[in-house]
Structure 1
Amino acid sequence: MKKVLILCNGCPPSRALFHDNFAQADSFIAADGGANIAQNFNTLPDVVIGDLDSYEPLANEPYEVISRPDQEHNDLEKALTYARKKGGTHIHILGATGHRLDQTLKNLSVLKQFNSSFQSLVMKDNFGETQLIAPSYKTELPIGTTISLFPLSGSVTNVTTKGLKYPLTNESLTNGVRDGSSNEVVEQTVHITYKKGDLLLFVRR
């Protein structure tokens, strides 16, 4: 198992959130301007990768800098491709939300693109954690936790939940029609199952 932290150039995480994830990581990748945020935390990445349009280099650059100027892929895609090549298995992404909405939506799309490449792929910010979940998913959460379920693309069919205040039983969630926003954990163990689709889980922390 290799844990990789990727820091993007979106809304910066809190110092506590950053250092908690940094302490658990085996490798730290800065996606372009994410390196600038790392410097504010007095921390250096192992590698900086991206088109480098927002990266502010240090005088000596005591880490590897990889220029990927193509505009067909964003900096998070480039960082995840690098992490996959280097054998990363569990990926935590910070700084991928906030600021421009179009970039946040793009990064959510990237979750789908790379989800099958890793054992876990989680996007975190100062409000919570977001990930695509498997068709049969179980987790332990404190009672009272707010969670939301969203179909990432099209519809998610036969969604059934246990342990939530507003349960679903073989129901469909469809973009623009119905989602599972702002539910509440009422049992410590939460089960979520579905048949087809891409189901995004947000857990408020």
Structure 2
Amino acid sequence: MKKVLILCNGSPPSRELFRESFAQADYFIAADGGGNIARQFSTQPDVVIGDLDSYKPVSNEPFKVVSRPNQEYNDLEKALTYADKEGGTHIHVLGATGYRLDQTLKNLSVLKQFNSNFQSLVMKDNYGDTQLITPTYETELAIGTTVSLFPLSGTVTGITTHGLKYPLENESLTNGIRDGSSNEVIKPTVEITYQSGDLLLFVCR
């Protein structure tokens, strides 16, 4: 098991969230301008990777800087590809949301693209954690925690939940028609199953 932290150039995480994620990581990748944010936190990544249009280098940096100028892929894709080659199994991504909505939506698409490459892939920000969950999913959460379920693309069918205030029983969620935002945990164990589709789980911090 190898835990990899990726720091992107979106809305910066709080210092507390960054320190918590950094302490758990075996390897730290800064995606382009994420290297600037790492410097603000007085922390050095193991590697900076991207098209390097945002990263501002300084002299005598003791870490690797990898230029990947191909514009067909964004910096998060390049960082996740690198994490995969480094043997990463559990990936935490910071700074992938906020600021430009188009870039946040792109990063959610990247989440789907790479989700099967790792044992877990979670986007974290100051408000909560977002991940694509498997068709049979179980987690322990504090009672009162706010959670939301969203169909990432099209429709997610056959959703059944246990441990939430507003349960679903073999129901569907569809973009533009129905989603599962702002539910509430009422039991310590939350169970979610579904039949088909791509289901995003957001857990509020």
Task: Give 1:21's aligned amino acid.
Answer: S
Residue aligned with 1:131, SS = strand
Residue matched to 2:18: 18
| C-alpha separation in 2, matches of 1:19 and 1:57 | 22
Q: CA deviation at 1:62?
A: 1.1
Residue matched to 1:111: 111
Residue matched to 1:88: 88
Q: Percent identity?
A: 79
RMSD over equivalenced CA pairs, Å: 0.4
Residue matched to 1:128: 128
| C-alpha separation in 2, matches of 1:130 and 1:192 | 15
| C-alpha separation in 1, matches of 2:127 and 2:60 | 35
| C-alpha separation in 1, matches of 2:44 and 2:56 | 13
Residue matched to 1:49: 49
| C-alpha separation in 1, matches of 2:186 and 2:164 | 5
Residue aligned with 2:6, SS = strand
Q: CA deviation at 1:61?
A: 1.6
| C-alpha separation in 2, matches of 1:73 and 1:169 | 39
* CA deviation string 1:159-198 (max 9, x = no partner): 0000000000000000000000000000010000000000
* CA deviation string 1:143-174 (max 9, x = no partner): 00000000000100000000000000000000
Instruction: After the TM superposition, list the runs of 4 or more consecutive aligned residues in structure 1 that deviate by more than 3 angstroms.
Output: none
TM-score of the aligned structures, taking structure 2 as reference length:
1.00
TM-score of the aligned structures, taking structure 1 as reference length:
1.00
| C-alpha separation in 1, matches of 2:52 and 2:153 | 30
- How many residues align? The count is 205
Task: Give 1:45's aligned amino acid.
Answer: P
| C-alpha separation in 1, matches of 2:16 and 2:191 | 29
| C-alpha separation in 2, matches of 1:23 and 1:137 | 26
| C-alpha separation in 1, matches of 2:86 and 2:42 | 25
Q: CA deviation at 1:20?
A: 0.4
* Unmatched tracts of structure 1, length 5 or more: none
| C-alpha separation in 2, matches of 1:106 and 1:182 | 23
Q: CA deviation at 1:2?
A: 0.1
Counterparts of residues 1-205 of structure 1 (less than 5 Å)? 1-205=1-205
| C-alpha separation in 2, matches of 1:34 and 1:58 | 14
* Unmatched tracts of structure 2, length 5 or more: none
